[in-house]
Amino acid sequence: MVTCHRSVYNVHGKPVLVGSLLLNIFSRLHPNNVIGIRSFSDQFMCTSLLEACNKYLQKHFVEVSRSTEFLGLGETEVAELLNKDELHVTSEEQVSSCLSGHLGMG
């Protein structure tokens, strides 16, 4: 797997470092954008960014589960997230509440 090594060039034909862009994105992860950035990083095989998004999502799961992006996920994606042992939740009730909110029962 590639760690997001796409070549980007400025108007003078000089390569621009993608690393600085990734650092900027890492610092801007938020419960309201992490799922979209995670999807982007998966699509473009940016493994380091994908891993960072997954760790952020697991650590801030409850907050992420209240986001519009989370509510827009399909059943398979939600099930995949809820099956992770690494979710930082204080109780199973939090997971149930997230699921109920996603299904429109909350």
User: Which of the given ranges, 26-30, 52-56, 90-94, 102-106, has the highest pLDDT on average?
Assistant: 52-56
Look at residue 106 in the predicted model and tell me its pLDDT. Answer: 46
Helix (H/G/I), strand (E/B), else coil: 84? coil
For 31-58, how does the pLDDT look when each residue is reduced to its tens digit (9 = 90+)? Answer: 999 999 999 889 888 888 899 999 999 9
| Whether the predicted pLDDT of 24 surpasses 50 | yes
| Euclidean distance between CA atoms 66 and 42, whole angstroms | 22
| Euclidean distance between CA atoms 106 and 104, whole angstroms | 6
Residue 15 in contact with residue 9, Cβ under 8 Å?
yes
Name 36's Cβ contacts closer than 8 Å, sequence gap at least 6.
69
- Sketch the domain layout of the chain as residue ranges: 8-102
